[in-house]
Copies of this chain bind each other. A is one copy, B any other.
């Protein structure tokens, strides 16, 4: 799950040309904002235009719509996972709770992307299992620290926590504040009893 180039170059080829890398990044950036703005309904032509790049260039880097979708999705997951390490300074509970709240926002915005990806690859595909693994790996230290500090009950693991949050975000037709309320209830439930 590298952010830039999914396949590590085993054969020692020449590194990518500067313009190629520049364009790759421009396309990813354009795609990310396009997808978050307009759901996943944007056309690839539109993304290319937005990136200031020809459609051929887009297809050179991403052989099809699915590939671009995946790249953006993976990059977002990485980005969110990385944010976990920035919470080290906080009190164990606060770090945990903050990360959980971030998780809710993250899931809400990335659902459209994941939803369209489901049209191409099934839920057991490497993309999703890898992303789930990354999410678990990122959350685990935060949870363990909070548990070690006696802030979170000891009988839950990351998988359960993330499923719980996932379930809450998937509630149909709930208002954002309702979600937030349910989240606070869930957090209360996770808190260690005094």
Contacts and interface: CB of A to CB of B under 8 A. Distances in A.
The A contact surface, by secondary structure, is loop
A172 interface: yes
Q: How many copies does the complex hold?
A: 2
A6 interface: no
Contact of A172 (B123, B172, B173): B123
Interface string A111-135: 0000000000011100000000000
Nearest to A116: B119
Interface string A157-176: 00000000000000011000
Contacts of A122: 173
Contact of A123 (B123, B124, B173): B173
A122 B123 CA distance: 22
A124 B122 CA distance: 26
Interface in A95-151: 122-124
A152 B144 CA distance: 43
Contacts of A123: 172-173
A131 to B, nearest CB: 14
Contacts of A172: 123-124
Contacts of A124: 172-173
Nearest to A123: B172
A80 B172 CA distance: 24
5 contacts: A122-B173, A123-B172, A123-B173, A124-B172, A124-B173
Q: Which A-B residue pairs are the 4 nearest by beta carbons?
A: A123-B172, A124-B173, A123-B173, A122-B173
